[in-house]
Amino acid sequence: MLATFIDRYVDAEDPGEPRFEALVRALVDEQPATGDREALADLRRDPDASRAFSMYVRARAHYGAIVTLTEEGDLVLGLTLDDPLNDPEVAILAAELIADLKEEFQAVAGIAGVELPPPQSASEWREDERAMLRDGEP
C-alpha cells in the first residue's frame, strides 16, 4: 500500500526530505539499513512516542504528501491541498479526495482540516478539534 502511494503521489526523485530513503527501506522494502530506524525516530512529534512519526514530502500533483505511522502501527497517508484564498471549493475537493483515497487504498477513514497534522494515534484522531471533515472511524 505504501509503495503504491509513493509511486502514485510522491515526488520520489526529489522528495524534499533527506530521510525519505530510510522510510522506503524500513517500511516498503522492510530491509532497514543501520541508522534508518533512528532517522525515522527523529520525525516523532512526541518524544515519549514509541513508534509514531510523520514525514512530509513533495507530491507529484498536490501541494504535499504525508506518510504517518501511528502508535498502533497503522499507516496514515495524506495529501495536502493549498488554499491561500480560503476558497469554499477546496472543502469540496478535500471531501472528494478523501473518498477517492479511501477507495483506492481500501481505507476505513479519512480526515481533513486546516493546518491539521496527521493523527499519530487513535486518541489524536478522536480528539483533534481542528478536523473539519471526518469520513469513517479507524
Burial of 64 (0-12, 13-18, 19+ CB in 10 A): middle
Each residue's pLDDT tens digit, 20-31: 999 999 999 999
**Residue at grid coordinates 532517522:** 39
Q: How many domains does the chain have?
A: 1
Each residue's pLDDT tens digit, 93-103: 999 999 999 99
Return the pLDDT at 136.
Answer: 85
Spatial strand order of the sheet with 64-69 comes to: 53-57, 64-69, 75-80
Each residue's pLDDT tens digit, 106-132: 999 999 988 888 999 888 888 888 888
CB atoms within 10 A of CB 78: 25
What cell numbers appear for 51 in the block?
513508534
Q: What is the pTM of this model?
A: 0.90
What is the mean pLDDT of the segment spanning 82-91? Answer: 89
What cell numbers appear for 99 in the block?
473518498
Q: What is the span of the domain harbouring residue 53? A: 2-136
